Amino acid sequence: MPYVSTSSFALALLLLSCMSAGCQDGRPRDPAAERSVEFTIPEAKAGEPYLRCLVMGDWGTGRADQKAVAAGMAKRQAAGGLDLVLTTGDNFYPTGVQSADDPLWEANFRGIYTDALRDLTWCPSLGNHDHLGKIEAQLDYAKRDPKWYLPARYHTFTRKLGDAQVQFFVLDTNPLHRGRDPQQLEWLREELSKSNARWRIVYGHHPLYSHSIRGFNRGLIAKLEPIFTRYSVDLYLAGHDHTLEMLKPVQGVNYVVSGGAAGADKAYEVSWTDESFYASTGGGFVVLRIGEGELVLEFVRTDGTTQYAHTIAKAPAKVH
């Protein structure tokens, strides 16, 4: 979602929705606060391997609300021991970075997150605001800081999970959103077709499904959904809309929006519909706990508390 909207129509829609929803101080109400959301978090099983990921998007403002969400992330890291940070893009507002020495690396990244969080491996994807700067700057920074893992605009990487694997497919959805880059789609088909990972997780900036003012992205649905479905993608993670959402599966694929890491001052209105398991605004992030038999998603608010959790079960692996 744009950091500062240049569309008067979109801005008018946002203001109108806020007025009708009874927003205070220009901030949208939180639909989750109006519902009693029942959930359970399965206990981690002793001795079993897990991979824990923090998923955050639309974050790099350098402002007070980003720092507040960062404090909540630090609480989760201290309590649970995270392994990776996955970003769903818009790493640097308002117009990306210009070089690996850009002051925004300190102002919006190193100066915001604790040493314990920065010591994790960060696996970013690129957002539309990142593309307003120089993408090569983020690639160049990765060459000097191995904790910023960005070998290419789009790429794949794996992590061991006992005898199994989790494979992540990182997209640059910006050209796809504009109807370009057919080579990236061919790459995704090829990499997914070769994958024998137990979990296949794709992430990028633009959501396919969302209930913010932008709605569904029909172009990306047409391009990506058939690929996700054909190759049994388990989960697609996105940002762009400054909300938290867990949508009901579409043809077996689970869709999540995690674009709240800049906090409440960049939050947008979101609707809770029959297609929603959960919808929230006002800032936050998502934590994944991936085990061999289940993937648990926690939707975490700015203060570090879980407001909703969802479990995706995986059938036992076949023994040949």
Distance, CA of 176 to CA of 247 (rounded, Å): 22
pLDDT, position 25: 56
Structure tokens at 45: 């099983």
Res 17 pLDDT > 50: no
53 burial via Cβ count (<10 Å: 0-12, 13-18, 19+): buried
Mean pLDDT of 149-168: 97
Q: How confident is the model at residue 196 (pLDDT cuts 50, 70, 90)?
A: very high
pLDDT, position 265: 83
Structure confidence by residue, pLDDT tens digits, 64-85 = 999 999 999 999 999 878 999 9
Average pLDDT, the chain: 90
pLDDT, position 29: 84
pLDDT, position 32: 86
Mean pLDDT of 223-252: 97
Please state whether the predicted TM-score (pTM) of the whole model is above 0.85: yes
Q: What domains does the chain contain, in order, with CATH numbers?
A: 55-313 (3.60.21.10)
Of 33 and 55, the one with more pLDDT: 55
**Quick one: what percent of the chain has pLDDT higher than 70?**
91
Which of 18-22, 85-89, 121-125, 138-142 has the weakest average pLDDT? 18-22
Which of 1-5, 193-197, 224-228 has the weakest average pLDDT? 1-5
Res 6 pLDDT > 60: no
Structure confidence by residue, pLDDT tens digits, 37-73 = 889 999 999 999 999 999 999 999 999 999 999 999 9
Q: Which of 275, 160, 141 is nearest to 207 (CA)?
A: 275
pLDDT, position 288: 98
Res 24 pLDDT > 70: no
Res 8 pLDDT > 50: no
Distance, CA of 246 to CA of 280 (rounded, Å): 9
3-state secondary structure string, the chain?
CCCCCCCHHHHHHHHHHHHHHCCECCECCCHHHHCCCCCCCCCCCCCCCCEEEEEECCCCCCCHHHHHHHHHHHHHHHHHCCCEEEECCCCCCCCCCCCCCCCHHHHHHHCCCCHHHHCCEEEECCCCCHHHCCHHHHHHHHHHCCCECCCCCCEEEEEEECCEEEEEEECCHHHHHCCCCHHHHHHHHHHHHHCCCCEEEEECCCCCCCCCCCCCCHHHHHHHHHHHHHCCCCEEEECCCCCEEEEEEECCEEEEEECCCCCHHHCCCCCCCCCEEEEECCCEEEEEEECCCEEEEEEEECCCCEEEEEEEECCCCCCC
